[in-house]
Structure 1
Amino acid sequence: SMAALGFLLLASLIGDPTIMRGFGLNRVNIYTKILGFFPRNALFWPLLTALVIGGMISEDRAHGTSAIYFSRPINRIDYAAMKYLSVASILGGVILISYVSFYSLAIVVEGRGWGYIFDSFPLFISGLGIAFLLIITYTSIGMALSSVSKGKFFPAVGFLSIILGTKLLAFLVDNLFDQSIVYLISPYDNLAHLGQYLMGIDLRYDHPVAFSVVSLLAINAVSLYVLSARVNSLEVTRE
């Protein structure tokens, strides 16, 4: 995820404008650092999430105990919140650090002035906002899957299947029947549609962005409901 920084430094050292256009600071590159499908949302973010969520709750469900203990008895809200924040902090750390590092280094390498920073800052904030939505959505789906399993394998594979499988299915149906509304089943495409709208990039979807927002809210609501219901049925003990 930090590879773009190396290309930025390389472009500044050799003075190649072609590399700078491909990896420098512009609207499309800011978008792709968060929502580009390959490699970030095809490999980096889904694989990282799958690795983290594997046994987050499923191991506790298998053994009947909580892996987190406080100096006082914990309730189910404490338990769910700490598990959720653990996943979100790891995923968020990687995504946000790479994103902020890219923006900061690009400004320095390209010698941008304060005027450009002020002009591009709203775009940067839009990217930051969509990054938080991506972190929340991926974490919610992953935690819901972990809460319904008793092993590490199912949550990880299930998460990859949801993110990549829905994307592939929607892509095939859209190409066959020219119906972009099928992308509403894909968490990634809902995020991408909203991101394109917020960042002023040409929309690649024909249906209204409001549909994607509603679908995104529904996906998160269902995921959090499943997580809540399963945690309520989980025995949380204190040693």
Structure 2
Amino acid sequence: MAVINCIIIEDELPASILLELHIARFDFLDLKGRFTSVANAQNILKSHKIDLIFLDINLPGKSGIEFARSLSSETAVIFTTAYTEYADEGFEIEAIDYILKPIAFGRFTKAISKYTKIRESNEIFLHSKIQETDRAFIFVKCERKMVKLFLDEIDYFESQGNYLLIYTATECYKTYQSITEMEEKLPEGLFFRIHRSFLVAIKKITSYNTNHINIQNKQLPIGRFYQSSVSYLLNSLTNNALNL
């Protein structure tokens, strides 16, 4: 994992210290500073490339919401707040996550996991290509036999109770395993979870909005919990592609 430069903008000292302690438990997170307001953080933002900001919403001067709207797509935000009423605004801004105080380490870890998956997906999608002679594949058990499926032919996975449907452009395969088990087996960066029941191939997405992803003529829902991370990933991919 590449080093991730991050900062904390938080005016409550106990919350700021707790975030610093959580960050210190991840060797790939490099904390560049703690700040009590957006104004105090301006110098570090000008002198360093900051990948991730842990951002309180209620801040003196410029609010966290207002500040987040001004950031480029290259800087990700994880909101930290004591108030649930800001959740909708946080999702609209396409923050990676929205964590309520006091922040438990387990919840913090989930937010970091969401960010690292998006980051890895972005990097792999833009910078690596699988050669036709070395096409990645998996074997899945379907109807009492093991079937070889090339990953670049899979459009998406759909969870249906205790089994999993695997869709390609022409076929649908049924196997008895959970979507989480499948997600753990797949290489990073090729597929992304958009819903508790759907795991999609990033390269197969043809269009999207805040509530749905389209793969050819299939419209798949984006779960509320996944909305911010999906929007951030897709907008980041779009912006990076335009800059190539």
Judging by fraction of residues, say which structure has more strand: 2
TM-score bracket, normalised by the shorter chain, equals: under 0.3
Higher relative contact order (CA closer than 8 Å, sequence separation 6+): 1
Judging by fraction of residues, say which structure has more helix: 1
Q: TM-score, normalised by structure 2?
A: 0.27
Q: TM-score, normalised by structure 1?
A: 0.27
